[in-house]
Amino acid sequence: MLKYSIKRLARSLITLIILITIVFALLRFMPEEGYFNNYEKMSPAQIELGLIKMGLKDPLYVQVFRFIRNLLKGDLGLSYRYRVNSPIAKIIAPKIKISAKLGIICMAISLPLGLALGVLMARYKGKFWDRLGNAYIVFIQAVPNAVYFIFIQLYGSTWLKIPMLYNENDWRTLILPTISLALPSISSYAMWLRRYMVDETNKDYIKLARAKGVPNTTIWFRHVFRNAVVPIVNLIPGSLLMTISGSIYTESFYSIPGMGGLLVDVIKRQDNNMVMVLVVLFAAVGIVGLLLGDIAMALVDPRISFTKKEGSR
């Protein structure tokens, strides 16, 4: 287990380094003005000098190496346009806190609700609850988030008389963003759990258990649910970590000063350095999330062992 984790971690690091290199290479194609806050007023010579000073004319591998070295020191570089010449780490630290708070509240709500809905749907497959849940899932999965988020904001704030924009000191302003964020995650938890549970009920050992006369509740919770929930456990660390990246739509709709809105802002202002740092950060979070997910799955389900050669991932 430990050996596997270390091996996975090493591989994740390699993936991350490849990613940083690709992002660096891509940024070469990005407009140069993304490195200066007063680009319009600068002469070509000044621009050239500025680029050399920032080390952007160095060969790619030198830049990547320098970036990684600074990263290990906890130095994420400077923002050039979003907030002129201020350290990126300082900009994002408070934003991560806000996004994570919102994300964790949302998970705390959506995980139990999603699992409950999934169990309910699997239990009454083909009946009213299942159909209702299916209609909800289809709507949420098919229609782009933005569309129903807009309507939640519009009618939520007019009918419930809640202030539309986020205010740190008013907890009511968190209600609508939380609902918006929870709706899609409830639907995805419910959808997967239902699917896994239905698969599980069709297996032979369940038939055997029934034939033996095991009570229904025991079958559902001791056998079906416990087996079906394992792949869901795999997702949880990832989603938990991803909360720090925030949600782009909700945060910018309600002007919550979190990470999701930040990425959009930074892209709109063309701050190349921050775009890169954020992309690397989110990718790193994604990678670590998957790793932790696999470990969590192994902890929950003793049958899973990683010492055997795996197909992929």
Site of interaction with another protein (CB under 8 A): 11-12, 15, 18-19, 23, 26-27, 29-30, 138-139, 141-147, 150-151, 154, 242, 245, 248-249, 252, 263-264, 267-268, 275, 279, 282-283, 286-287, 290, 311-313
For residue 178, what are its two tokens? 């939380």
User: CB burial class (10 A; 0-12, 13-18, 19+) of residue 50?
Assistant: middle
Strand, helix or coil at 86? strand
- Taking residue 243's Cβ as centre, other Cβ atoms within 10 Å add up to 22
Instruction: Find the shortest distance in angstroms from Cβ 114 to another protein.
Output: 19
Cβ distance to another protein smaller for residue 41 or 313: 313
Cβ distance to another protein smaller for residue 209 or 287: 287
306, 189, 291: which is closest to 241 by C-alpha? 291
Cβ distance to another protein smaller for residue 151 or 205: 151
Instruction: Find the shortest distance in angstroms from Cβ 282 to another protein.
Output: 5
Instruction: Find the shortest distance in angstroms from Cβ 26 to another protein.
Output: 5
Q: Residue 122 and residue 290: Cα distance in Å, rounded? A: 27
Torsion sign, CA atoms 116, 122, 126, 127? negative
Cβ distance to another protein smaller for residue 169 or 312: 312
Q: Say which amino acid occupies 7.
A: K
- CA terminus-to-terminus distance, the chain: 15
Q: Residue 65 and residue 82: Cα distance in Å, rounded? A: 25
Beta strands in 221-260 (DSSP E): none
Cβ distance to another protein smaller for residue 13 or 93: 13
Cβ distance to another protein smaller for residue 237 or 286: 286
CB–CB of 54/97 below 8 Å? no
Cβ distance to another protein smaller for residue 219 or 237: 237
Instruction: Find the shortest distance in angstroms from Cβ 148 to another protein.
Output: 8
Instruction: Find the shortest distance in angstroms from Cβ 137 to another protein.
Output: 10
Instruction: Find the shortest distance in angstroms from Cβ 27 to another protein.
Output: 8
Beta bridge partners of 86: 79
Instruction: Find the shortest distance in angstroms from Cβ 113 to another protein.
Output: 22
Could you say which DSSP state residue 23 is in? Answer: H
